[in-house]
Amino acid sequence: MKLARLLIPLLSLAVSAFAETQSFTILDGQKITAEMSGGLPLPAEKEGIKIEVAAFMIQEGKLIYSFGFSTQKEVKKVVVEEVSGSSALPMVTDSAPALTKAYWKGDAQPLPLTQAGVPWVFEEGDTLKVFRFTITTGSDAAPVILHQPAIYGGGVKVQLRQLAQ
Whether residue 15 lies inside any domain: the answer is: no
Whether residue 14 lies inside any domain: the answer is: no
Position 19 confidence tier, pLDDT thresholds 50, 70, 90: confident
- 129, pLDDT greater than 70: yes
Q: Give me the pLDDT at residue 9, please.
A: 39
Single-letter amino acid, residue 138: G
- 22, pLDDT greater than 60: yes
Whether residue 156 lies inside any domain: the answer is: yes
Number of domains in the chain: 1
DSSP-derived secondary structure letter, 9 = -
Contact assessment for residue 44 and residue 147, using Cβ atoms and an 8 Å cutoff? yes
Measured distance CA(30)–CA(8) in Å, rounded: 27
- 17, pLDDT greater than 70: no
Domain encompassing residue 44: 21-164
Contact assessment for residue 70 and residue 50, using Cβ atoms and an 8 Å cutoff? yes
Q: Give me the pLDDT at residue 163, please.
A: 87
Measured distance CA(10)–CA(67) in Å, rounded: 9
Whether residue 6 lies inside any domain: the answer is: no
Is the pTM higher than 0.75?
Answer: yes
Measured distance CA(54)–CA(47) in Å, rounded: 19
Here the CATH number for the domain that contains residue 153 is 2.60.40
Measured distance CA(43)–CA(48) in Å, rounded: 12
Q: Which of 72, 82, 147 is nearest to 120 (CA)?
A: 82
What would the mean pLDDT of 71-99 be, rounded to a whole number? 96
Whether residue 9 lies inside any domain: the answer is: no
Whether residue 29 lies inside any domain: the answer is: yes
Whether residue 69 lies inside any domain: the answer is: yes
Whether residue 143 lies inside any domain: the answer is: yes
